[in-house]
With several copies, the nearest count.
Chain A
């Protein structure tokens, strides 16, 4: 079976995240096994629970959340990238991290990469 892993390095307030979302959702609808999305660099900001985007603008985070719920799509954020960008990752019951995201290390990227038939970066 063909598997896909996706790396997102653009922040949630960038219009470029729309393209990443559209690609991942299209793959899921087509029945591709998307084994995970790894948010690295500015992509880690997607997991910041306090991000507030004007309601008339594209709600990238809500859309990722929806994909996570609907398809059990694993969304990993890189802990180092997140902490550098002001998301405290140390507490257990963390109010700053959006619950749709899993705090992971770069080791998760290794796992996704070795398991995936294709790795695509956005």
Chain B
């Protein structure tokens, strides 16, 4: 049975739209690119979308990478278009960075580094979640 309370909560939370969790490293599969395509289409339809980077997904954000050295088209460069698509909420899991001995040096601006609990809370404020 569905209570009307749940319905209200749903409608409220819908404001926060879709969360996409990126969990894969950038240069060994299509996952990062496939997630990016979803994010950009949501942006172009003016639907709210937030990006979360966790686990090896954090490598997608790291500065000074160069996909052309391994003959791959550098889709990471398209991340700089996030502003244009009004994709403003970009979260990275601090613990994932620490585990990988990575500095908080990213190739795009306005990345929010969050501890696990806050990362979980930010994720929780979204209506739908896809993970790539």
Contact = CB atoms under 8 A, between A and B. Distances in A.
* Direct chain A–B contact by Cβ atoms under 8 Å: yes
A67 interface: no
A39 to B, nearest CB: 12
Interface residues of A, number: 30
B28 interface: yes
A15 B47 contact: no
Contacts, number: 61
Tier of interface size on chain B: 20 to 34
B30 A117 contact: no
Contacts of A40: 34, 38
Nearest to A42: B30
Contacts of B37: 80, 106
A34 B130 CA distance: 17
B83 interface: no
Nearest to A53: B73
Nearest to A105: B41
